[in-house]
Amino acid sequence: MLKNNQFDDQTLGAFVDGQLDSKLSESIINAMEKHTDIRHRVYELRRCKDLMRIGFADASLENKTSPSSFKWNRYAIASVASLAAVAIALSSGFSGYYYGAKSKHPENTAETIVKQKSERILLHISESNIKHFSAALDYVDKFLKQHESTDAQIAVIANAGGLDLIRSGTSPFERKIINIMNQYSNVHFIACANSVRNLQKKGVEFQLIEQVRLNKPAMDHIIEYIQGGWTYKKVNTLTSL
Partner 1 sequence: MTDRALHNIKNKIAGSRDRLYRVSLAWCSDPMLAEDLVHETIATGIDKCHQLRDEKQLFSWLYSILNNNWYRYLQKRKNHDDLNEHIPCENSGPLTNCQALDLIQQVRYAISKLPAIERQVISLVDLEEFSYCEVAKTLDIPIGTVMSRLHRARKNLLDIIDRQKVEDKQRTTQASQVKTEKRHLHRVK
Binding site for partner 1 (CB under 8 A): 9-10, 13-14, 17, 19, 44-45, 47-49, 51-61, 64-65, 67-68, 70, 104-105, 108
Q: Answer yes or no: are the C-beta atoms of 160 and 198 closer than 8 Å.
A: no
Q: Sign of the C-alpha dihedral, residues 52, 57, 60, 65?
A: negative
Q: Within 13 Å, how many C-alpha atoms sit on residue 133's CB side?
A: 19
CB of 26 to partner 1, least distance (A): 19
Select 11 or 170, whichever has its Cβ closest to partner 1. 11
Select 62 or 205, whichever has its Cβ closest to partner 1. 62
CB of 98 to partner 1, least distance (A): 16
Select 47 or 216, whichever has its Cβ closest to partner 1. 47
Select 106 or 161, whichever has its Cβ closest to partner 1. 106
CB of 17 to partner 1, least distance (A): 6
Name the burial class of residue 220, with classes exposed (0-12), middle (13-18) and buried (19+) by CB atoms within 10 angstroms of its CB: middle
CB of 47 to partner 1, least distance (A): 7
Sheet containing strand 153-158, strands side by side = 213-214, 187-191, 153-158, 120-125, 231-234
